[in-house]
Amino acid sequence: MDAATAGPEATMDVLRPARRFFIKGKGEHLVQERDGPGAAPEALRRHFIHEDGMMRVPVLLVGDVAVRGFHPDLYRRALAAAGLPPA
């Protein structure tokens, strides 16, 4: 991964096909729909792009789902939303 593949514009390009966003939070996890207020471009930049301009990791993309951060429950919910069977 380098600045060309993980910079702000490349990150937003990767997120463009996603319709649902699962974001690990410190307390509660956020779930946003593309048309909801939490998925506005500035909100997605805040959640997916670090202050240094690089993509926050980890990011999982599956179908129309994008996940930022790792938590087992968050991944279960996101994979189910993407139509994948539970592990």
Residues 20 and 64 sit within 8 Å (Cβ to Cβ):
yes
Residues 11 and 31 sit within 8 Å (Cβ to Cβ):
no
Rounded to two decimals, the pTM is 0.88
- The model's pLDDT over 21-80, given as tens digits with 9 standing for 90+, comes to 999 988 889 999 999 877 899 999 999 999 999 999 999 999 999 999 999 999 999 999
Residues 66 and 20 sit within 8 Å (Cβ to Cβ):
yes
Residues 56 and 46 sit within 8 Å (Cβ to Cβ):
no
